[in-house]
Amino acid sequence: MTEKGKVYTGVNVENASYGLTVCAERVAVFKAVTEGLKSFKKIAIVTDTDQPKSLCGACLQVLSEFCADLEIVCATLKGEKNRYRLSELLPKAFKKMSREW
């Protein structure tokens, strides 16, 4: 969900070469970015599992580029939920390097 309340969805795009797989979280973020939206308020990850699943490191890092303290909701179809702040799950994210010469 963007700061303006617009919701974007995504799905995992898997590949036989695992490194080329793209997670649903990044798909949703990239869709929003292609429409010019780069400020996010919340992300929800819903899985068909017994326990909520968290985001992978790559997704956490991508999200940190747009919102340092995003709200993250991890849930299951059965209603189990965990809530986090991005800063809890990735307290030492990589920061963009200054390009001042």
Set out the domains of the chain in order of their start, with CATH numbers.
18-89 (3.40.140.10)
Q: What pLDDT, on a 0 to 100 scale, did the predictor assign at position 92?
A: 86
Q: What pLDDT, on a 0 to 100 scale, did the predictor assign at position 94?
A: 83
Q: What pLDDT, on a 0 to 100 scale, did the predictor assign at position 97?
A: 59
Residue 33 has pLDDT above 50, yes or no: yes
Across the range 61-83, mean pLDDT stands at 93
What's the token pair of residue 90? 């990735």
* Residues composing the chain: 101
Across the range 70-75, mean pLDDT stands at 96
25 included as an active-site residue: yes
For residue 101, give the 3-state DSSP assignment. Answer: coil
Residue 17 has pLDDT above 70, yes or no: yes
The active-site residue out of 25, 65, 80, 100 is: 25
Q: What pLDDT, on a 0 to 100 scale, did the predictor assign at position 30?
A: 95
Place of tokens 């303006």: 4
